[in-house]
């Protein structure tokens, strides 16, 4: 069974559209993350949820809205897509609890291309 899964794997869409990327983890972890990897492979955190509560929001445009229906899922909705949103988006999870540091487990990534 895949530990952290994302759908879709590839997403091609036009500017101005709204799209969603879904993430699910079956590891029983409390915390989930979204990262963006740009064309130069640079990775930067976007959001983190702990038990369905937002705990990290790294100055991401408000066109990006994460939603966590339960602690096993963290979806990313993007409104009014722009060319600069083209990137690979990675979901991750960790067993993190306050005061601890744990490794993160990454999904396979969703390659978003905005034309």
Binding site for other proteins (CB under 8 A): 4, 31, 33, 35, 40-45, 48, 50, 55-56, 58, 90, 92, 94, 96, 99-109
- Beta carbon nearer to other proteins, 13 or 106: 106
- Beta carbon nearer to other proteins, 48 or 75: 48
Shortest Cβ 83–other proteins spacing (Å): 22
According to DSSP, the β-strands at 10-13 and 110-114 are parallel
Q: Is residue 78 a contact partner of residue 85, using CB atoms and an 8 Å limit? A: yes
Shortest Cβ 110–other proteins spacing (Å): 10
Shortest Cβ 92–other proteins spacing (Å): 8
Of 27, 39, 45, 41, the closest CA to residue 91 belongs to 45
Q: How long, in residues, is the chain?
A: 115
Burial class (CB in 10 A: 0-12, 13-18, 19+), 28: exposed
- Beta carbon nearer to other proteins, 2 or 18: 2
């Amino acid at each position: 069974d895949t530990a952290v899964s994302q759908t879709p794997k590839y997403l091609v869409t036009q500017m101005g559209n709204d799209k969603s990327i879904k993430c699910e983890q079956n590891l029983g972890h409390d915390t989930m993350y979204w990262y963006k990897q740009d064309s130069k492979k640079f990775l930067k955190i976007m959001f983190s949820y702990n038990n369905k509560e937002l705990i990290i929001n790294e100055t991401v445009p408000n066109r990006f809205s994460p939603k966590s229906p339960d602690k096993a899922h963290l979806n990313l909705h993007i409104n009014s897509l722009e060319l600069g949103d083209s990137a690979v988006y990675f979901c991750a999870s960790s067993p993190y609890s306050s005061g601890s540091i744990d490794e993160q487990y990454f999904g396979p990534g969703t390659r978003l291309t905005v034309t």
